[in-house]
Structure formats: structure tokens, C-alpha cells
Amino acid sequence: MRRPHHGHRQNATAYIAINTGLCEACWKCVSVCPKGVLGKVNFIFHKHVRIVNPKNCAGCLACEKACRAGAIISLKGSKLAPYYIF
């Protein structure tokens, strides 16, 4: 199965997706991720989490549990997982 033409998954791994519009840049998810999957976009007026090592994601969902803003969504069991782009 082919990915969408612009399906460069900057906001998702195989297990989680990030809705950067909800991200409050608290960096809790960055701290709890044991695999170094998550990083920061950290400009003065533009801050949100980003995925830097998607292939390292183990699907532990520590990031999802840590996020109070609901900006991290579990894709486990989702057929959309390979195509999830915000």
C-alpha cells in the first residue's frame, strides 16, 4: 500500500499522533519518553512538541498519559495509523 503523496509523517509514529494545535509546550511528554522520540519546536512565539525519531517509538504511551492537553493521541488499533497527519 502506498502512502499519500505528501505522507511525510512529521506528526505521528506507528503508535501515536500529535495534534500540535492542542500542545501547550509543557514538555512533559519529551521528559517521559524513554526512546527520545519527541523533541521541541521552541521559538519565542511558536512552541510545540515534534517527533524527531519516529522509528524509535515503542508504543508505551507514556507520552499520551503525561499529556494533559490531549495533544497526543494513541493510534493503537487504528487503521488510519499509517496515514495520520494533522
Q: Which residues bind ligand SF4 (CB under 6 A)?
A: 13, 15-16, 18, 23-29, 32-33, 35, 37-38, 49, 57-63, 66-67, 69, 71-72
Nearer to ligand SF4, 59 or 82 (CB): 59
Beta bridge partners of 42: 47
First-to-last alpha carbon distance for the chain, in angstroms, is 20
Nearer to ligand SF4, 2 or 47 (CB): 47
Nearer to ligand SF4, 6 or 37 (CB): 37
Cell numbers linked to 71? 495533544
- Coil, strand, or helix at residue 56? helix
Amino acid letter, 22: L
